[in-house]
Amino acid sequence: METHLLRKKEKEKRVILSLSKDIILKMKTKIYKILFIVWSVLILTLSSIPSLSVMKSPIIGMDKVAHFTEYLIFAFLFVKMHKDVRKGVKRLLILACTIPILDELHQIPILGRDFSFYDILADTWGFLVVIFVYWSKCIKATE
């Protein structure tokens, strides 16, 4: 009788623990979605400011570091808001091919801003770092 009660209590604990993990995962996902939206709005806002002055250099400078960093964070938040990391990385690959170009095209009509191929490269590298890190984690998990 006692053994049966102990098994029943253990089963209840496992169910509660499983539910708790699920609730925490859902909360984390929602938090990352909110952060992703806020970050996306921030990027759009900053890229809409005419003549935003960042230390400029012909190729590599603070401007390119800023582009790399903003899209590294963007990509990280995008992957983290997905419950299935593999799906998130696949979707991120599509975004990496489109978002940097759209961001630069969006800046063409803004006074003091222009289309920059080097900015696209810096943005894309931010995406690629996150894609590489998470894709390699997915591969290691399946080995």
The predicted model gives 1-12 an average pLDDT of 68
Nearest 10 degrees: Cα torsion 44, 97, 136, 43:
-10
User: What is the amino acid identity at position 86?
Assistant: R
On the question of pLDDT at 7 being above 60, the answer is: yes
What is the separation of C-alpha 57 from the centre of its chain, rounded to a whole number of angstroms?
27
Each residue's pLDDT tens digit, 99-142: 999 999 998 998 888 888 999 999 999 999 999 998 888 777 77
The predicted model gives 73-86 an average pLDDT of 90
Each residue's pLDDT tens digit, 107-118: 899 888 888 899
On the question of pLDDT at 1 being above 90, the answer is: no
